[in-house]
Amino acid sequence: MCKGRTLKVKVSNTGLRGGAETVQVYIKRNADSDGPVKSLCDFQKVSLKAGESKEVTFTLQDNAFECWDPLTNTMRVMSGRYTLYVGNSSAAKASCQMLWREGL
């Protein structure tokens, strides 16, 4: 669930043994056709007992929204639509959309 700068993800261990998973959040500015496909902006390692589920909360900081601005030749926070991808690797497919406005 995306709301404001907060992303909440439910992680479940469906196995018979305890374990750990690294939940990764990637971001892509939709209008940035020259930029990377997506960039890692946060991650958390979660330990889970067999059959256990936990909610993991990510609060995105300003620098998660930095993109290369060719007009100023600098990295800067840019307004626009972003897609967040969540998973255990860069191949993450689960996604949500968010709108970022400078000053939020």
Q: Write the CATH number for 32.
A: 2.60.40.10
Q: What does the pLDDT read at residue 3?
A: 56
For residue 3, report the phi and psi dihedrals to the nearest 5 degrees.
-150, 115
What's the pLDDT band for 101 if we cut at 50, 70, 90?
Answer: low
Local structure of 64: helix, strand or coil: helix
Per the prediction, the chain carries an average pLDDT of 84
Q: Answer yes or no: are the C-beta atoms of 76 and 69 closer than 8 Å.
A: yes
How far is 21 from 79, CA to CA, in rounded Å? 32
Is the pLDDT reported for residue 103 higher than 50?
Answer: no
* Higher local confidence (pLDDT), 52 or 64: 52
Other residues' Cβ atoms within 10 Å of the Cβ of residue 81: 12
Q: How far are the Cα atoms of 12, 37, 48, 81, 93 from residue 99, in angstroms, in the given order?
A: 28, 18, 32, 4, 19
Whose tokens are 């404001």? That residue is: 4
What's the pLDDT band for 23 if we cut at 50, 70, 90?
Answer: very high
φ/ψ bin of 85: left (φ > 0), alpha (ψ from -120 to 50), beta (otherwise): beta
Is the pLDDT reported for residue 83 higher than 50?
Answer: yes
Write out the residue range of the structural domain in which residue 95 sits.
2-100
How many domains are contained in the chain? 1
Is the pLDDT reported for residue 33 higher than 60?
Answer: yes
Is the pLDDT reported for residue 47 higher than 50?
Answer: yes
The two three-digit tokens of residue 15, written as one number: 């196995």
What's the pLDDT band for 82 if we cut at 50, 70, 90?
Answer: confident
